[in-house]
Structure 1
Amino acid sequence: MMSCWTRFSLLVYVFSLVAWAYQDGPYTYRPLPPLREQARIQDGWLKERLSRIPSLLKKHEVDFWLMSQREHAEDTIWWSIKNATDYDAHRRTVLLFHTNESSLRGHPNPLKWVDNTGQVWNELVQVLEDFEPRYFHIAINIDEDIAFGGGLHVGELHAMMPSLGPWAHRIKNIPMLGIEYVSTKVDGQLEYYRQMQDIVWMMMKEGFSHTIIHPGVTTTEDLGWFFREKMLLLNVTTWNHPRISVLTEESFPGWSGTEDVIQQGDLLHIDWGITAMGLNTDTQHMAYVLRDGETEAPESLKQGLAKANRMQDIHLETMRAGMTGNEVLEKCLAQMQIEDIEGQIYSHPIGDWGHDAGAVIGFTNMPTHVPVLGELTILPNTYYSIELYAYHFVPERNETIRFRIEENVYWDREVGRWTFVKGRQENFYLVGNPKETLLKVQKEEYL
């Protein structure tokens, strides 16, 4: 007779063989640099980005760009002009960007005050008076419609205006200053943005596998929290909670995901992004949970994904810098109609923020035209999330399902078009099922 310890050891051995035989990995992650090195790299990017501001001011015919914020009430632009080791603004932080001309030549850009006494306004006015203005305009962020041009808090506006004296009538609202500054990327960012995409894809490969998903047991919420925990281990964070859904005809859960126990035959969807080094990703992929005896997804599901891929092609073939978001949307929808594809496009800029500065191309609640943000022109040297879905009828389910995908692209100057940062999903992740006979471990023999 085997001892209890021997029987236990055999069980552990057999289960380890099963796990090895059905492993989808290895899940090899290429980590980002240590945090200290990340901060050094980010501050290098920042220096390059800030150096462009004087020419941006001249382009929009202003002498100054004035920002004021208090701790916990920062201007939207603050998060794109701060050092990597800064978090909240300290006390009241006032920044004055200028064109480096006249008596301010050689001075820091921006000029910066950290103050909680009100003395800053006297010093600010003195600087303005010493400057020889070309355009007699000061840009401040007070736009009513665009977040990246409207980040000045009303309390700061009320504190600032009486203190500006005769300069108060020279303020000007120029939302494109913030939009152009935030949306324009520097060349060095792409290498690390691509590395972040590698991490995202590897996490999805691991998450959408039988090592994490156990049909009949694992829920969509369980899977979402797996991704959150995994982020901590990889030293990245997120700008939205991973939203996992079981796709059906009725499901279009948006920001909430669904609350389902994952079953064999389910079509799974994730919408999420990670944050690191001042950059954000946004990705939507799909997975299929194999039924017993299946080795691939049904053909009808493959057709739905292919249709969504075709929409991506149309989008990238159409989208060009200088077009408005609405122009791109209109042309895409027209081509989809020609090809008898029904679906919706709701793409957006991405980078410093998950939903970044710039022209949007459709909204879920505005499928054909977007006021204000859709009328902005698409800028080059930036990143976009190509976000959309295609309707496709699945006869085995007697359902028309939205096949939802999203990938990040960048402007590739060498070829003159938008290019996927990592690639795109053209095949489903397949969640396999270990054979039940192996899992039984011949109970009667060993126990």
Structure 2
Amino acid sequence: MLSTIWLGVTSIIFILNFVQGQLHPQNPAKYQPLPLLRERAAIQNQWTADRISRIPSLLKKYNAQAWLLCQREHAEDTLWWSIKNATDYDAHRRTVLLFHDNKSSMAGAANPLKWIDNTGDVWPELLDTLEHLNPERIILNTDEDISFAGGLHAGELAVLQRELGDRWMKKTANEPMLAVEFVATKLPEQLEYYQKMQETVWAMLEEGFSSKTVEPSITSTEDLGWWFREQMQVQNVTTWNHPRVSVVTPKSFPGWEGSENIIQEGDMLHIDFGITAMQLNTDTQHLAYVLKGSGAEAEIDAPDGLKEGLRKSNRMQDIVLENMRPGLTGNTVLRRSLHQMELEEIDGQIYCHPIGDWGHDAGSVMGFINLPQYVPVLGDLPILPETYYSIELFAYHFVPERNATIRFLQEENVAWSHKSQHWEFVRGRQEKFHLIGSHEKRAITFSDQTTQL
């Protein structure tokens, strides 16, 4: 009896949560121009300087006095891409960076201390600096599991072992969370530009998934994917993730490779793509529907079964964000979310990841496609505040109109809000299908007639 009551309660909660949405932006998205490249570089360099200024406090947090990076041109440490000047495209010669805690005789010195060398002169100078600094613990990026903390190339490690000798090498240590926290942490000033990027993504989606771009029986999913790439060029952004457009079928797993289908009326379309600008990355998955028919007999909306599937994946987003708190591990959030999904009788999969400097950024993850319930190492990291996340997942839903169970994939980016103490969608989330078809032409005609009246 109690279990029956509980199921009834959870069903009511499920229905109520379905109508709680209202996070789909009410106004059409507009392309948001970013500053000219020269101005972007100045802004990025200020961000980088501000982030680097936090390193002494991170060293203190992780009980270290120095952080040593050693890299060569074309063999950069992974961390290099988060600390370099905006106009640097690789490390020059051998580039050695020594971050320090600003204490003792090093107080007031440049941080990091930097050497660019191809003669070997760096080594006696570095040894002399270490004598003055006298660190008890020097961090090297040698982690075996986390790429952001494992970027020291084998050849550079061998050189360090030879040039620093046993005295200093015995004081080196691996501390992966130092690099993870540095890369993952975003500045409040970055959010304004990230919001502009997200609205541009939505503007691309609204234009790409429309009759302006798609002609059923003519346009292919491959054509549409390349349209998005060309539009990125127009908007002066690039990508870390080639747009992958697919026709969704019960057997397909859209998003990984895209498809080469000719788009037809009645198709449900899926896209997975991201844009890159100002050392920031986005990652988005949306769904579209191609309306059937024309004139008075034309569809004006997607079938109810498809809309229910979209709402179900929206509810999964809610569940993840309700459980996702800084300090918890990704695996804890994943376990709690899967438990809530089970209570609400939702079948699906969660695979959320940090995003920011990289499309798949530093930090804890919640599931992988091939690891749906527990992720070793990365899933056991703590979720950090002041970061961005991609809430990536899918819900299974039986669609009566198709007599088939279909995956409804969604992905939206969120940022931590100190004001609300919750994660908030950077632009909003998709709660309605992008509709491609004659409804757009009728809307234009009606608008024209209204104008004439």
Q: Shared fold (TM-score greater than 0.5)?
A: yes
Quick check: 1:162–1:168 contact (8 Å CA) kept in 2?
Answer: no
How far, CA to CA, are the matches of 1:249 and 1:120 in structure 2? 60
- Paired position in structure 1 for 2:445: none
- Paired position in structure 2 for 1:366: 371
Match of 2:334, as an amino acid?
A: L
- Paired position in structure 2 for 1:394: 399
How far, CA to CA, are the matches of 1:160 and 1:179 in structure 2? 23
Quick check: 2:254–2:270 contact (8 Å CA) kept in 1?
Answer: no
- Paired position in structure 2 for 1:104: 106
- Paired position in structure 2 for 1:260: 261
Query: Cα offset for 1:27?
Result: 7.5
Quick check: 1:322–1:377 contact (8 Å CA) kept in 2?
Answer: yes
How far, CA to CA, are the matches of 1:132 and 1:86 in structure 2? 31
- Paired position in structure 2 for 1:142: 142
- Paired position in structure 2 for 1:420: 425
Post-superposition Cα deviations, 1:4-27, rounded to whole Å, max 9, x if no partner, equal xxxxxxxxxxxxxxxxxxxxx998
Matches within 5 A, 1:159-170: 159-165=159-165, 166-170=167-171
TM-score of the two chains, using structure 2 as the length reference: 0.89
Matches within 5 A, 1:244-323: 244-292=245-293, 293-323=298-328
Post-superposition Cα deviations, 1:284-322, rounded to whole Å, max 9, x if no partner, equal 000000001101000000000000000001111110001
Post-superposition Cα deviations, 1:13-56, rounded to whole Å, max 9, x if no partner, equal xxxxxxxxxxxx99842211111111111111111100000010
User: Looking at CA atoms only, which structure, 1 or 2, has the larger radius of gyration?
Assistant: 1
Query: Cα offset for 1:435?
Result: 7.6
Quick check: 2:51–2:187 contact (8 Å CA) kept in 1?
Answer: yes
Match of 1:312, as an amino acid?
A: Q
Match of 2:161, as an amino acid?
A: M
- Paired position in structure 2 for 1:53: 55
How far, CA to CA, are the matches of 2:68 and 2:416 in structure 1? 30
- Paired position in structure 2 for 1:442: none
- Paired position in structure 1 for 2:337: 332
Query: Cα offset for 1:253?
Result: 3.9
Post-superposition Cα deviations, 1:390-414, rounded to whole Å, max 9, x if no partner, equal 0001122121110000000011000
How far, CA to CA, are the matches of 2:127 and 2:345 in structure 1? 62
- Paired position in structure 1 for 2:33: 31
Post-superposition Cα deviations, 1:174-220, rounded to whole Å, max 9, x if no partner, equal 00010000001101000000000010000000000011101001111
Query: Cα offset for 1:258?
Result: 1.4
Q: Using a 3 Å threshold, how does the CA distance of structure 1 residues 415 and 435 change in structure 2: closer, same or farther? A: closer
Matches within 5 A, 1:1-150: 28-133=30-135, 136-150=136-150
Q: Using a 3 Å threshold, how does the CA distance of structure 1 residues 355 and 398 change in structure 2: closer, same or farther? A: same
How far, CA to CA, are the matches of 1:56 and 1:167 in structure 2? 21
Quick check: 1:207–1:223 contact (8 Å CA) kept in 2?
Answer: yes
How far, CA to CA, are the matches of 2:117 and 2:236 in structure 1? 34
Report % sequence identity: 64
Match of 1:87, as an amino acid?
A: Y
How far, CA to CA, are the matches of 1:265 and 1:39 in structure 2? 45
Query: Cα offset for 1:254?
Result: 4.1
Deviation beyond 6 Å, 4+ runs, structure 1: none
Q: CA RMSD, aligned part only?
A: 1.5
Match of 1:181, as an amino acid?
A: F
How far, CA to CA, are the matches of 1:26 and 1:177 in structure 2? 41
TM-score of the two chains, using structure 1 as the length reference: 0.90
- Paired position in structure 1 for 2:387: 382
In structure 2, runs of 5+ residues without a counterpart are: 1-26, 443-453
Q: Using a 3 Å threshold, how does the CA distance of structure 1 residues 288 and 258 change in structure 2: closer, same or farther? A: same
- Paired position in structure 2 for 1:349: 354
Alignment coverage as a number of residue pairs: 411
Match of 2:175, as an amino acid?
A: I
How far, CA to CA, are the matches of 2:397 and 2:364 in structure 1? 28
Query: Cα offset for 1:118?
Result: 1.7
Q: Using a 3 Å threshold, how does the CA distance of structure 1 residues 67 and 400 change in structure 2: closer, same or farther? A: same
Match of 1:362, as an amino acid?
A: G
Q: Give the 3-state SS of the residue equivalent to 1:366 in structure 2.
A: coil
- Paired position in structure 2 for 1:439: none
Quick check: 2:240–2:276 contact (8 Å CA) kept in 1?
Answer: yes
In structure 1, runs of 5+ residues without a counterpart are: 1-24, 437-447
Q: Give the 3-state SS of the residue equivalent to 2:401 in structure 1.
A: coil
